[in-house]
């Protein structure tokens, strides 16, 4: 998937060689940007006037926000904001340090324990983001020789995994050149098993299987009930990035493992604090104690980068407390999601079936998705379109994301706008 690629370069172009002077470099960058704009891949940012919420303000106009990862509405919840303010007052703005020098407060340790307990894991380690956590995990674990003179590790990775997993694997492979990557077809467990069996007899040191818990372009989840067994049978370490599911899926919001009936049985879970758990920033790795302690020693984004600010730590502690003690936000999110999914289909739109609050509304052509998202913004609905190369050609879509912060009247308003614009563009019948 191109979202994992750094280049926005056009596909065709004569190959060049030699030096690129600095001022020519800027000209090249300008050309690349113009090319991206021409190809409609240039990412434009629409500034919000105020807070992130179910209803937001854009240029003085209210919009139903259907494009954020604020699944539980905690990004702007008074209790979370108050806890963050308490964190500021009590612990200050920043720690001006990495964790092992003088960047650890009791609240950091408390949050790590709370995340681990929430996920049914032994321990957890905080990072500045889940992106950093994923890079740290693969690079630290799979580039160490552990005293083995000659070794090769194999990483089995779902083809649609998030860019941060892809980059973590790249980093590990840059250091440990013999580490192999076997990408299996998306959610195709037969293919995974075939790849695993091809290497059973070989002299492989560590096997890992890496998957997103929920795939963010589709809102579908990995089959963890099977993956847990496959990993155990093949003595492989199962790593699940549950960024879009922690606080979202499962009866108690524990994520994809709970939804799949394997809570506490996944080897390693990585996740973000930047979506359902308050939406600020931060990430973590959770797993067995030796792994987490090893990461504390060896993770470069952990040992060479600042600790999470106290306000975020306190806000996230409160967010987790709220989810642990009261299921109502998780239930409201799940209710809102099934309501929207049912009603958008009743209007005649085609969606990708599922249960996740990511609801891809399938439109086919990129031009239709672009036009529809522009028109919806004018009507009062903020939703983003995705098209090739982010998703396959001919599968352009609007990616709707539902929140517990939406009231039914907000969703009904959004649905009426979808109906109006859908009819204008001939996506649904009159």
Task: By CB under 6 A, name the binding residues for ligand PLP.
Answer: 129-131, 162, 164, 212, 216, 241, 243-244, 272, 274, 283
Order the strands of the 123-127 sheet from edge to edge. 123-127, 283-287, 268-272, 237-241, 207-212, 154-158, 180-184
Q: Is 244 a catalytic residue?
A: yes
The catalytic position among 68, 129, 164, 216 is: 216
Marked catalytic residue, from 108, 162, 207, 244: 244
The answer to whether 194 and 200 are in contact (CB under 8 A) is: no
Among residues 108, 127, 275, 406, the one annotated as catalytic is 275
Q: How far is the CB of 199 from ligand PLP (least distance, A)?
A: 26
Residue placing its CB nearer to ligand PLP in the complex, 283 or 357 = 283
> Smallest Cα–Cα separation from 154: which of 233, 208, 75, 100?
208
Is 259 an active-site residue?
Answer: no
Q: How far is the CB of 134 from ligand PLP (least distance, A)?
A: 6
Q: Tell which residue, 139, 135, 169, 127, has the closest CA to residue 284.
A: 127
Cβ distance to ligand PLP smaller for residue 164 or 401: 164
Shortest distance in whole angstroms from residue 371 CB to ligand PLP: 26
Q: How far is the CB of 150 from ligand PLP (least distance, A)?
A: 33
Q: Rounded to whole angstroms, how far apart are CA atoms 239 and 227?
A: 10
* Contact between residue 136 and residue 301 where contact means Cβ atoms under 8 Å apart: yes
- Return the number of the residue (162 or 207) whose C-beta is nearest ligand PLP: 162
DSSP state of 394: T
* CB nearer to ligand PLP: pick between 208 and 413: 208
Residue located via tokens 């904001």: 81
Q: Is the dihedral of CA 225, 231, 232, 238 positive or negative?
A: negative
**Torsion sign across C-alpha atoms 383, 389, 390, 394:** positive
Q: What is the CA radius of gyration of the chain?
A: 22
Q: Would you say 112 or 212 has its CB closer to ligand PLP? A: 212
Question: Quick one: DSSP state of residue 32?
Answer: H
199 is a catalytic site residue = no
Q: How far is the CB of 271 from ligand PLP (least distance, A)?
A: 8
Q: Least distance to ligand PLP from the beta carbon of 305, Å?
A: 13
Is residue 430 helix, strand or coil? coil
Closest approach of ligand PLP to the CB of residue 280, in Å: 10
Distance CA 211, CA 221 (A): 10
Closest CA to 427 of 367, 383, 359: 367
How many CB atoms neighbour CB 84 within 10 A? 23
Pick the closer one to ligand PLP by CB: 131 or 302: 131
First to last CA, the chain: 36
> What residues does 115 pair with on adjacent strands?
none
Task: Using the minimum distance from each CB to ligand PLP, give the nearer residue, 138 or 413.
Answer: 138
**What amino acid positions are annotated as catalytic residues?**
216, 244, 275
């Amino acid at each position: 998937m191109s979202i994992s690629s750094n280049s926005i370069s056009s596909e065709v172009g004569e190959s060049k060689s030699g030096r690129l002077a600095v001022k020519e470099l800027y000209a090249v960058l300008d050309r690349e940007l113009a090319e991206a704009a021409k190809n409609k891949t240039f990412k434009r940012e629409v500034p919000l006037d105020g807070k992130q919420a179910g209803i937001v303000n854009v240029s003085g106009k209210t919009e139903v926000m259907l494009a954020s990862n604020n699944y539980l509405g905690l990004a702007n919840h008074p209790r979370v904001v108050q806890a963050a303010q308490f964190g500021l007052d009590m612990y200050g703005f920043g720690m001006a340090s990495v964790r092992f020098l003088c960047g650890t407060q009791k609240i950091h340790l408390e949050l790590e324990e709370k995340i681990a307990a929430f996920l049914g894991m032994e321990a957890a380690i905080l990072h500045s983001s889940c992106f950093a956590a994923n890079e740290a995990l693969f690079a630290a674990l799979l580039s160490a020789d552990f005293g083995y003179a000659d070794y090769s590790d194999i990483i089995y990775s779902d083809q649609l995994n998030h860019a941060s997993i892809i980059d973590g694997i790249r980093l590990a492979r840059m250091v440990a050149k013999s580490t192999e990557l076997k990408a299996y077809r998306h959610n195709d467990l037969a293919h995974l098993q075939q790849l695993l069996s091809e290497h059973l007899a070989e002299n492989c040191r560590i096997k890992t299987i890496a998957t997103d818990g929920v795939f963010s372009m589709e809102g579908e989840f990995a089959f963890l009930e099977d993956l847990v067994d496959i990993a155990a049978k093949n003595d492989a370490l199962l790593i699940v990035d549950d960024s879009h599911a922690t606080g979202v899926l499962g009866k108690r919001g524990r994520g994809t493992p709970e939804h799949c009936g394997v809570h506490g049985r996944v080897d390693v879970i990585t996740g973000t604090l930047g979506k359902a758990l308050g939406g600020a920033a931060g990430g973590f790795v959770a797993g067995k104690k030796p792994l987490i302690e090893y990461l504390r020693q060896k993770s470069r984004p952990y040992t060479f980068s600042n600790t999470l600010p106290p306000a975020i730590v306190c806000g996230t502690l409160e967010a987790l407390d709220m989810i642990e003690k009261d299921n109502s936000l998780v239930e409201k999110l799940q209710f809102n999601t099934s309501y929207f999914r049912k009603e958008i289909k009743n209007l005649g739109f085609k969606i990708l079936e599922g249960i996740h609050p990511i609801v891809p509304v399938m439109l086919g052509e990129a031009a239709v998705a672009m036009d529809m998202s522009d028109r919806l913004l004018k009507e009062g609905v903020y939703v983003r379109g995705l098209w090739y190369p982010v998703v396959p050609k001919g599968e352009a879509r609007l990616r709707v994301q539902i929140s517990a912060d939406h009231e039914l009247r907000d969703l009904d308003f959004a649905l009426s706008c979808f109906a109006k614009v859908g009819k204008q563009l001939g996506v649904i019948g009159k």
